[in-house]
């Protein structure tokens, strides 16, 4: 009886601890040179939410607390073509790595 009571109360507690959000991280580089691009404005959008972040001096970005969904990432930076990348998935309790490349704008 004691074990049955323990399991009855322990199982729901375990489910309650499971996360409901995930994240994405990656590096944005120049398509021609492979050099990381700092200061890229990255909009991450899905039907459930939109978040904006900026790459750091090493071209890295990190976004956490995203709802599980499929996202479009739109990168904007002066001197580069604005580019949208579709179909990037976020899963609960996971951080997905999505590295992106930006094409320089034509002179």
Give domain status of residue 4, yes or no: no
CATH code of the domain in which 75 resides: 2.60.40.1120
Give domain status of residue 12, yes or no: no
What's this model's pTM, rounded to 2 decimal places?
A: 0.81
Give domain status of residue 71, yes or no: yes
Give domain status of residue 5, yes or no: no
Q: What is the largest CA-CA distance in the chain?
A: 77
Backbone angles phi, psi at 29, to 5 degrees: -125, 160
C-alpha 47/C-alpha 49 separation (Å) is 6
Task: Quote the domain boundaries for residue 86.
Answer: 21-102
What was the pLDDT predicted at 16? 45
What was the pLDDT predicted at 18? 60
Give domain status of residue 31, yes or no: yes
Number of folded domains in the chain?
Answer: 1
Reading the chain (107 residues) residue by residue, the pLDDT tens digits are: 554 444 444 444 444 446 799 999 999 999 999 999 999 999 999 998 999 999 999 999 999 999 999 999 999 999 999 999 999 999 999 999 999 999 999 87
What was the pLDDT predicted at 54? 98
């Amino acid at each position: 009886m004691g074990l049955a009571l323990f399991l009855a109360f322990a199982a729901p507690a375990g489910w309650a601890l499971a996360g409901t959000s995930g994240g994405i991280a990656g590096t944005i580089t120049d398509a021609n040179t492979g050099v990381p691009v700092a200061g890229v404005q990255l909009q991450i959008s899905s039907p459930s939410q939109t978040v904006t972040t900026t790459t750091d001096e090493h071209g890295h970005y990190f976004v956490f607390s995203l709802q599980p969904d499929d996202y479009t990432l739109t990168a904007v930076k002066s001197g580069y073509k604005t580019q949208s990348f579709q179909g990037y998935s976020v899963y609960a309790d996971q951080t997905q790595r999505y590295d992106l490349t930006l094409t320089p704008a034509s002179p």
